[in-house]
Each structure stands twice: as structure tokens, then as C-alpha cells.
Chains A and B, each alone.
Chain A
Amino acid sequence: MNRTDEMDGVRRLLAEPPEPSPEASAKALGMLADEMSGGRRVRASEGRRRLGRPFGLGRPFGLGWPFGLGAGLVAVGAAAAVAIVATGQGTSGPPGASEGTRRPGKVDLNRQAVLAAAAKAELLPTGRYWYTDQITGQSYIVRPKTGAYAITGAHFESFRWAGAKKGMGEAFYGRDIPARPLTPKDEALWRKAGSPSAFRVWSNDHYYTYDRHTSPWQVDHPNAAGGGHWFGSGPNGGDMTVDDLQNLPTDPASLAARFLSGASVPERRKQALQRQVDSLRRAPVPDDPKKRAERAGSLKVLQSMMDDVDGQIAEDPHGSRDKVLDVGNLMMDLPLPPAVRAGLMRALAAQPGVRAIGPVVDGLGRKGIALAGPDTTARIDGEYGAPAAEQGSYTSHEEIMFDPATGELLGSRDVLTRPGGAYRSQAPGFVINYWLVRSSGWTEAKPKPPAKLPF
């Protein structure tokens, strides 16, 4: 036998696969169309959540994070330094001033938020470094014979810091933290099941086993020369610099125009899909029967995506769920001047489809006040192989939570409003996933991730 050339061997071993199916191509194109239309911001939030439970296989966190998903999803925190903190308040206006036209019920929250942010601004320690410590978790249902209970899995803590100016450095850390029963009731059922230390659960499109381990902090792409800017939050996903931060407006109307202008995100999505359909239709129908079938398949998939979008438009005509997520993204990732923060809160509270829902308690047991988007329906079918128990539809809304005393962002989460599907036996209020700010702020010394676990 002749010795095989290893490169040819590899090519033969990993043989040419079939071309992507028309459905897969059309779906990918539809996702891109969505993204090109400005759905980017939405997807960024979803994708970011997904970091804790990556599509397909494997574990959260990898060396590819900041690069691969980083662009829009993980902005490297950078700092606008003392100047911003000190100057931010001037234009935010007194709480409640000229807000008389707002519906009652929102005024309080606005007042609180603005007051709180202003108070926070006065108290904010200024410093050379900005850091943010965040926790993401996703709820899963474990279904032993002794009774189903919910756990938080894909439990992940990230810590990143950046110097106020370029050259001061930046780093990004991550660690797995233990999966755990979600509520005391779940904990009781977990004990009844023998307090297992591993949880095999359905996750999107496969079974995955989460366990109670903690991984050491893993630093990812530290950059001693970095700092002073961050990615993905500028127009079209470009960089934002310290100057950009300082130049942000503080009044709600300008901030809404800048960051929440996607009033018609679903419509724009639909238009983008329509443009793809039109361009497919405009192109001559290919002679090759295979290509023709591909074209028909693409049209069909795009049409069904448009139907889905129609359903979304009906439930959330103003794209308000996305706006809740967007504000969360901005506040998590950027050391926004307090007046900008306050302005964003007021802007969000004033959006149609966004309502103040009163007191909440977050996953770390902290009391907060919250704004919520509209109820939207998720439908899980068997397309990705979900077992029967995981299929079905449910509705939920996205909440963003603030500390009433300080105006600080506590986090955001997806909360069940109509049980169904995998969550059919859960009550409204069940937390489907969360994304919490454990701590964030300025320091003089280079920040270090905490050794202590959050739970």
C-alpha cells in the first residue's frame, strides 16, 4: 500500500459534504436580512444570552468569545473617566419637570429613576478603571419521577475591566458557576430527587448536563495596551470612543432617537425579508431543476419567516421588547454618564408598550423596580428535535430592573406570563433567564474578579 499523503488523507477523510440545503441557506439569508434591517440590536441581546447556552453544542465561554461573538455582543467596557461622571448631570433637568403629560404611574418611576441616578452620580466614586461583573443564567426543567423542578444552568459569571484611556489596559474574564435549583420550591423537589449534583436537561437542540462545578476564572484576550474604547455600540456596530460617550445627549427624546428609534423594527425586518423575496423573484428562474428547486425552497422559507414576523408585529407593534433589551445592553456594557443613564430610563419608560410593573426581587435577592415590555409568544416545535415535553408555546415579557435607592441597573430577565410548552407547569412570574449585574463601577486600582461566588 502506498503511503497516503496526509493532506490528501485529511481532504478525503473530511469529505465534501452536500451543499447547504435550500432551507438552511434561506434561513441564514433571512437572519442576515433581519440583521441588515436593524434587527441587529435584538439579536445582539439574544445572542449574548445565548453565550451561556451556545447554539448547538459545547460549553459556554471559549477563546472565541470576544472575537467571535464579541462584535455586537460583548462590548469591552471602557471608561469615560472622571470628566463624564462629574459633568453628566447638567442637562437632565429636575425630576418630573415638564413630564406632566406622562401617564400617571410612570411619573413615579421616572422621578425615582432620575432622582436615584442623580443621587448615584453625586456618590459615584470616580476612578481610573471601570469594571462590570455580570451573571447570566438560563432556567431548565429537570423531570425526575419525583417531580419536575427548575434549575438555573448555563450559569456563567463574567468580569471585565478597562482603563479610562487607551493604553491603560483591559481584560475579560469568565467562569462557570454552579447550576442550582431556581427557587426554594425547586430546591425542595431537588432534595426529594436525592439532591443530584448533575442535571441533564434539554437545551435548544440537544441534551446537556449542567453540574455544580465552579471553573477557575479564565482570562480572555487581556490587552495591556487596550482601554479607552469599546466595540459594537456605535452606529452600525462600530466602535464607540470616550468622546462618543461624552457627547451623548442626556434628554430622553434625543436618546430615544439615537438608541430606541427602532419603533418599526419588526416592520423593517419584514421589509428586508420582502426585499430578499423580490430580488429572488426578479432574477431569472434558473433552468437547472436543482437550482429551481432551491429557489422555490428559499421563497417558501422566506415567506414563512415573513408570516412569523407578521405574528410578532401583531403582538409587539412598536418593537418594545427589543427596546427593553437594548437599554439593558447599553447600560450593562458602557460606563454611561449618570445623566445619560437617567435619560435612557425616562426614555424607555415613555415608550409605548413599556410599562412600570412595580417591585420585583432579582435572582440575587435584591429588591428592585422594573419596566416590562409586552407579552410575546414563543413557539417551540420539533424542528430541532425537542422532545414532546419541551414543545409548545408560552408567552413571556422582558423586564429591566433597577435599584430604587440608587438607580443602578440590577439586570434584566425574561419572565413567564402565560405558562405553556416546557413551562406548562410553572406559574406566571417564573424566570426563564436572567442577566444580572452583580457589581459595576469605578476604581482607582486595577480591578480584579472576585473569588467569592455570587450564590
Chain B
Amino acid sequence: MAHDRPPEREGPARPGSDTEVIVRSRREPDAFAEIFHRHFAEIHRYAARRLGTDAADDIAAETFLVAFRRRGRFDPARGTVRPWLYGIVTRLIGLHRRAEGRRYRALARTPAENVEDGHEDLVAARVTAGDAGAALADALARLPRGERDVLLLVALADLSYEEVGQALGLKTGTVASRLHRARRRLREALGADSRALMTEEATA
């Protein structure tokens, strides 16, 4: 599940693993720009999937400021840089959880209603997600925050249980049980929905 970002992406002129770069940046602050170049787009994408592009612009930028300030506290013995960044962005997203809930509830409403609101991106998402989308979005909005964080780090960021644990400061067992509960809630929501749908199809 875990995939390390290729450190050579920026070319041989700037060698070093993420961890090496962070350690170096403690003496040479400018070196931290490399962490930005390697991970900004990915962190932005994650924030945008949870909160939309506009909020993601702020949150992703803030993530790297926080990470830079905290680089002295990054402990290579406890994990890699990617989960660490995801931990930071997840906590920043947590400051916007009401907005996140609103977004999911908007996703759960009908496309027509959203078009009037100018939420074309939401409409597209709903269409892509198919009929199950409304139920899923509604279930996501209802998930306890701790479970939602775990679920979305696994589903969207493709982190392993261990990495989610690093990101959120949880034991792996806690990650597993939260994920289990979250998936069960979503399955229940989907199950109810698809049963209803099958009934509709049968009578159509």
C-alpha cells in the first residue's frame, strides 16, 4: 500500500531521501523547499478531495508552514515523511470539520439542487459515484471524525495501517478497529440504499 515518493524526482542535483532532506533543513532551512516540491501536489489533492479546491489551497499551504516549523520535531525513528505530512494536513482539515460535513451533505443532495448552488464539481462527483453516491456521502458526513480520518487516509492517501498510525498518533490496532467500524457503517448505508434501489428497479 505504501509507496515512497521517488526522491530523484527533482533530479540528481538535489539528492537525498525525504528524511535526509528534513534533517538537512534543520541547518539549512531552504532545503525544506524540496519537501514542498515533492509532496505539495499530493497533499493538496488530499485536502481538495475532502474540502474542495479553494479550502485546499489554504490548507495545503499551511501544512507546509506547520511542517517547516515542526521539522525539528520530526522523528525519523517513528516513521517517514509522507505520513507525517498527512498527519498535519488531517489535523488542519479537522479545524474545518463543519465545512467538511456540509460538503458531504451537499454531495448527498440531488444534483439539480446543487446545480443551482453552482456546485458543478459536486454534481460531477455524484454522477461519477453513481446511485450509491448519495448514501455514501450521507454516511461519510455522519462518521465520527476519528473514523473518517482513518478511512480517508486509507482510501484516498493509500497509507498502510502503520502509516495511518504514524500520521494520527494511534496504535495500529486502533487504526484497524476504527477502519473496520467505518467500513461497516458505510456498507450498511450502501446496503440499505442498494436494497431500496433494487426494489425500485424491480417495480420499474
Contact = CB atoms under 8 A, between A and B. Distances in A.
A17 B57 contact: no
B127 to A, nearest CB: 10
Interface residues of A, number: 58
Nearest to A58: B96
Interface string A32-75: 11011110100110010000001111110011110111011000
B194 A14 contact: no
Nearest to B133: A13
A24 B92 contact: no
A36 B29 CA distance: 5
Contacts of A36: 29-30, 32-33, 68
A275 interface: yes
B65 A57 contact: no
A10 B95 contact: no
B98 A17 contact: no
B181 interface: no
A359 interface: no
A287 interface: no
A4 interface: yes
A20 B52 CA distance: 11
A7 B190 CA distance: 11
Interface string A275-301: 110010000000000000000000000
B40 A25 contact: yes
Contact of B55 (A15, A56, A62, A275): A56
A228 to B, nearest CB: 16
A25 B91 CA distance: 21
Interface in B28-66: 29-30, 32-33, 36, 40-41, 44-45, 48-50, 52-62, 64-66
Contacts of B129: 9, 12-13, 15
Contacts of A13: 107, 125-126, 128-129, 133, 136-137, 140
A29 interface: yes
A3 interface: yes
B26 A11 contact: no
Given A14-B50, A15-B49, A20-B40, A68 B88 contact: yes
Given A14-B49, A28-B60, A236 B72 contact: yes
A144 interface: no
Nearest to A67: B91
B57 A59 contact: no
Main SS of the interface on chain A?
A: helix
Contacts of A29: 33, 36, 40
B45 A19 contact: yes
B201 A237 contact: no
Interface stretch (B15-23, B75-83, B151-159): B151-159
B121 A17 contact: yes
Contact of B69 (A18, A40, A272, A279): A40
B55 A57 contact: yes
Contacts of B115: none
A429 interface: no
A198 to B, nearest CB: 17
Contact of A9 (B32, B59, B71, B190): B190
B98 A57 contact: yes
A237 B98 contact: no
Contacts of B40: 20, 25, 28-29
A405 B69 CA distance: 37
A117 to B, nearest CB: 30
B91 A43 contact: no
Nearest to B93: A64
A232 interface: yes
**Residue from the set B69, B128, B198 with the largest chain A CB neighbour count within 10 Å:** B69
Interface string B116-157: 000001001110111111001100100000000001101110
Contacts of A55: 58, 62
A275 B30 CA distance: 9
B183 interface: yes
A7 B98 contact: no
A68 B201 contact: no
- Shortest 4 CB-CB contacts between residues of A and residues of B: A28-B61, A17-B48, A6-B186, A13-B129
Given A6-B136, A15-B49, A32-B65, 17 more contacts: A3-B191, A10-B136, A10-B156, A17-B53, A18-B48, A21-B57, A24-B44, A28-B60, A32-B32, A35-B65, A54-B95, A56-B59, A56-B96, A57-B98, A58-B96, A64-B91, A276-B33
